[in-house]
Amino acid sequence: MNKSELIDSIKAETGLSKDDATKAVNAFISSVQGALERGDDVVLVGFGTFSVKERAARTGRNPQTGETLEIAASKVPGFRAGKGLKDAVNK
């Protein structure tokens, strides 16, 4: 499912107009992104948790030249599925 299919699904389930469903999806994405930028977790009970994870610096290798290089530490977004989502997927 891509973003436009998600918008269509929300439109069908809620009776919102396509424009309102698009605004809702965009607002959700913006809110989650803003919280993660601030370092906050977004917890949706039964669905899952969006969080920021620390990735340590490491040594990598250029596959074309074989040269080793240092990859800097970074922060990456993560998602951990909640029990309700896991149960729904495993039905």
Give me the average pLDDT of each 10-residue run along the chain (91 residues).
Answer: 96 96 97 96 96 96 94 96 95 89
Q: How far apart are CA 45 and CA 82, in angstroms?
A: 7
> How many C-beta atoms lie closer than 10 Å to residue 58's C-beta?
9
For the domain spanning 3-89, the CATH number is 4.10.520.10
Identify the pLDDT of residue 40: 96
Q: Are 50 and 31 in contact (CB under 8 A)?
A: no
What are the extents of the domains in the chain? 3-89
Identify the pLDDT of residue 52: 97
Identify the pLDDT of residue 37: 96
**Percentages helix, strand, coil for the chain, rounded to the nearest 5?**
45, 30, 25
